[in-house]
Structure 1
Amino acid sequence: MSGTDAAAFSAALERAILARYQDFLQGVKLYQASGYQRSLEPKPAVWSKGAARLLDYGTTESACPLLVIPSLVNRYYILDLKEDNSFLRWLARQGFRPFVMDWGEPGSAEKDFGLDDYVGSYLSDALEAVIKITGAFPGVIGYCMGGTLAVALSQLHQDKISTAVFMASPWDFHEGQAEGGAARMRAEALVGLLPLVKVQKRLPSEILQSLFASLDQTLSLRKFSAFNRMDMSSGAAANFVALEDWLNDGVPLTEKVAEECLRDWYGQNVTGRGNWTIQGQEIRPGELEVPALSIVSLKDRIVPAASSMALAQCLPHSEILQTSLGHIGMTVSGAAQSKIWKPISDWLCSKLKNQ
């Protein structure tokens, strides 16, 4: 830098910053002007309770049933993003009958709900509905927070579940770190949101979205800049808009669920310590006798590998699939079908043959 003209360097730096900002801003404008609307024909609801519905993605009545459980904080359709990019529709074509829990948005029926209610009432009833409809015990697939809930459901109803798949499911919220570790400091920051939850009587989706965005502070800059350089008529551009719409279609958490997640999961790590209780029973993966497959992402910013690996290593009958795909990439990226979907299907088929 000693031979560089300071004024010229400053001017060049300003031009570079402005060019990057304009690239990002143009990408945002293109997204806003896309006019995309989700148009997939909705699947039939075979069970409902309050705001929740169970949607049947099966094409063959006699196919092996699967109960698919997404997170409470995002809409289920990340698993059915587009006709040509849908984990649920793909599973149906492989000979399964997926039933997915559409949690909806908490309403008057759920305003006082905690995790105990969602698992002990809604998920347990949905499981019974699948068994009644199909006459068979289903496999369970849980994604993200849905996988954590699936652990509880599977332990409470081990005699009614054939297999369990946990995709990027958080369990050790302190990630095995000592006091002062990054995960514990993040947990302390999240616990600081509890007064806001008390005032709002819920945890708004906008706050949740901000929390996720803070995990990678330059992500928005990078992704919208990249979108600006895409061919707007391409499949990649269409996938980007569909995914971004899903990201912006979040769901608030009830006051009680928010408190349990922030205080108990992140603050006290009750799951990782074996002290999480649902329906009066301590949920301990080591007691789960169901064959299980755990998907652990090595590049997951939302559920770090150490958190989901802790669950995988607790399960007595678990196989582990590690992937370089990220938290969302394992469900909708171009490599998801070959690296995640097919291994899940192959594993389910191998286990079902032995039952």
Structure 2
Amino acid sequence: MTPEVKTAGDGWARATTAMGEAMTRALAKPVGIGATRAYDPLAIASAMAEFGASYTPAKLFDLQMDAAKQWGEFWRNAFAPNDAPRERPRDRRFSAPEWESDPWFRGIRDAYLLASAQLKRLVQQGEGDPKGKAMVGFLLDQWVNALSPANFPHLNPQVIERTVATGGANLAHGFANLLEDVASGRGLVTRRTDPDAFRKGETIAATPGQVVFQNELFQLVQYTPTTADVAAEPLLYVPPLVNRFYMIDLVPKSSLVKWLVDQGRTVFVISWVNPTDAHRGKGVEDYVLDGIVAALAVVRERTGAKPDLFAFCLGGTLVAIALAWLAAQGRGGEVNSATLIGSMVDFADMRDWSAFVHEAHLDALDDHLAAQGYIDSVELQRLFAAMRANDLIWSSVVSHYLLDAPAPPSDLLYWFEDGARIPAAFLTSYNRKLLFENALTKPAGFEVRGQPIDLAAIETPILSIALKDDHVSAWSAVYDGAKLLRAEFLLGGSGHNAGVINPPAANKHGFWTNDARPDTAKEWLETATRNEGSWWPWWDAWLSAKGGGERVPAREITDGIEPAPGSYAKAS
């Protein structure tokens, strides 16, 4: 018996205690009938009805005949010899060798994958409103993901083996884990990573530095130099609002901040405040002007040089707006260059996310925000987890509730779960104007305190970096935005978060470059050059090429307010 599992009796005792705690929490804070929701359930029902009505009997018949042929092929292959050549699916849910070597488990797996593919094809070939179709697709994905045989104890070979080995203690303790998570009130699998494995400022977000400025929206962190001289142009990082800034400063071996400092760069980062009801009126314009533009002024004052901006996801969208605002004010020359990573400015193609950019959902969200003052970090985590349910929900369900495996230490998951709130005014404006109306694609379609924003007015050199497997900002959509910004373009490997954290020493993922700017992302990739390893050194060389080549003595910090990562990053 493994040491982390004791006896089934211990598990049932824990479960009884956790059940009592969950019931006490539920009685103390019951769900009221008038509670607001961040979505409109009637819009979902309407989308499903419209989707069903879009299919004619003839079209359904054709799909059914095609499905019957696929199932006939499936049964022919099911009786093939075990050593017959097969293409093994690349799906981490079925990584245990028994899913391939055992005919019983292999048959269950392949039947599930075939049925899933057929259902998804049914949705893809449906007609009607794209946003309604996206809603149906999202609901189908949730259902299909939940029904994976890997999620059921009697169908998962690893769980079966574990249950036999422990005499069922893993299931008793797993049930206790489930009830303890329910008692937490967060509505999430709460132990996806070990919460005690990291301490901010010590083992994560630990690159030495000082907070050198703060206002009600952000703290500005400057990092301690590690080289005798540095590039004249300082770097300023703008993170998204959803999580804390330190995705670029995880453990030292994967910290982009540390790597940049070691390359002789003066690095500053914006650390956004975690908003409360007092910030409910802070909109996009406040984050642009009192955030990014204010931070730029401090960096220029401290260094005497024009900064290079770099930003991630929503932070990059805000940087694009800031650059357009500066250009409109005749101040575009205050920024040397800008690098936008996984950032969208053209929201015409939001893929699955378009399911949530529906007028009825936006109306419901406005009511929800008016009552609460902000969108809570847990609500945002639920949404992001649902979009990657197999990786962020069901894998943890299996390990935490069925296998009772200890949560592994993961710096990236620790950061992901350290979410932040977003003010009501910001989210309302962002959703309505930028997402729903796609206002940044139109000259003067968006305003910042009365100043029309036109991305075409930006003269600052821009590099747009997309990630090939990005589920948040589809790389082809990022490419469309890069054309709008007249930006250079680079495609990195891996996904939205992991593709950014790509230290050269790991030699992973690779990246694509192409000097041509064809009309479509597909054409760009067809003629692009694949490069091995990390894009970080390529980017560092790009920054040097855009700079003046001057080196100055390292900028020591003598007037810090408090050590990095600062109290804003540590506050709940």
TM-score (norm 1): 0.83
1:104 is the counterpart of 2:299: no
Residue from 34, 52, 57 that aligns with 2:223: 57
- d(CA) in 1 for partners of 2:198, 2:333: 44
Residue from 212, 215, 223 that aligns with 2:384: 212
Deviation at 1:164, TM superposition (A): 0.7
Aligned match of 1:315? 485
- d(CA) in 1 for partners of 2:537, 2:221: 22
Q: Tell me if structure 1 keeps the 8 A contact 2:464–2:489.
A: yes
Structure ID, larger Rg:
2
Moved more, 89-98 or 128-137: 89-98
Deviation at 1:353, TM superposition (A): 4.1
Equivalent residues in 2 for 1:51-200 (5 A)?
51-59=217-225, 62-63=230-231, 64-107=233-276, 110-155=279-324, 156=326, 157-175=331-349, 184-188=354-358, 191=362, 192-200=364-372
Deviation at 1:350, TM superposition (A): 1.3
Give CA deviations for 1:270-304 in whole Å, capped at 9, x if unaligned. 22344122233333322211111100122111111
Deviation at 1:306, TM superposition (A): 3.3
- d(CA) in 1 for partners of 2:153, 2:509: 40
Q: Tell me if structure 2 keeps the 8 A contact 1:190–1:266.
A: no
Report how many aligned residue pairs link the two structures.
341
Give CA deviations for 1:75-129 in whole Å, capped at 9, x if unaligned. 0000101122111111111121110000121247634211101111222111110
Aligned match of 1:349? 544
Paired residue secondary structure (1:45): strand
1:296 is the counterpart of 2:466: yes
Change in CA separation of 1:14 and 1:136 when aligned onto 2, cut-off 3 Å = closer
Q: Percent identity?
A: 24
Q: Tell me if structure 1 keeps the 8 A contact 2:338–2:461.
A: yes
Change in CA separation of 1:16 and 1:341 when aligned onto 2, cut-off 3 Å = same
Q: Tell me if structure 2 keeps the 8 A contact 1:147–1:166.
A: yes
Residue from 451, 454, 457 that aligns with 1:287: 457
- d(CA) in 2 for partners of 1:30, 1:117: 35
Aligned match of 1:201? 373
Paired residue secondary structure (1:256): helix
Deviation at 1:14, TM superposition (A): 5.5
- d(CA) in 1 for partners of 2:366, 2:454: 26
CA RMSD in angstroms comes to 3.7
Q: Tell me if structure 2 keeps the 8 A contact 1:62–1:134.
A: no
Change in CA separation of 1:174 and 1:20 when aligned onto 2, cut-off 3 Å = farther
Amino acid at match of 1:298: K
TM-score (norm 2): 0.53
Aligned match of 2:212? 46
Paired residue secondary structure (2:198): coil
Deviation at 1:141, TM superposition (A): 0.3
- d(CA) in 1 for partners of 2:269, 2:195: 31
- d(CA) in 2 for partners of 1:266, 1:314: 16
- d(CA) in 2 for partners of 1:276, 1:73: 22
- d(CA) in 1 for partners of 2:381, 2:420: 10
1:15 is the counterpart of 2:172: no
- d(CA) in 2 for partners of 1:308, 1:219: 23
- d(CA) in 1 for partners of 2:297, 2:258: 23
Amino acid at match of 2:375: L
Residue from 326, 334, 339 that aligns with 2:534: 339
Paired residue secondary structure (1:193): helix
5+ residue gaps, structure 1: none
Amino acid at match of 2:332: Q
5+ residue gaps, structure 2: 1-74, 80-103, 109-148, 163-169, 178-188, 511-532, 551-572
- d(CA) in 2 for partners of 1:58, 1:277: 37
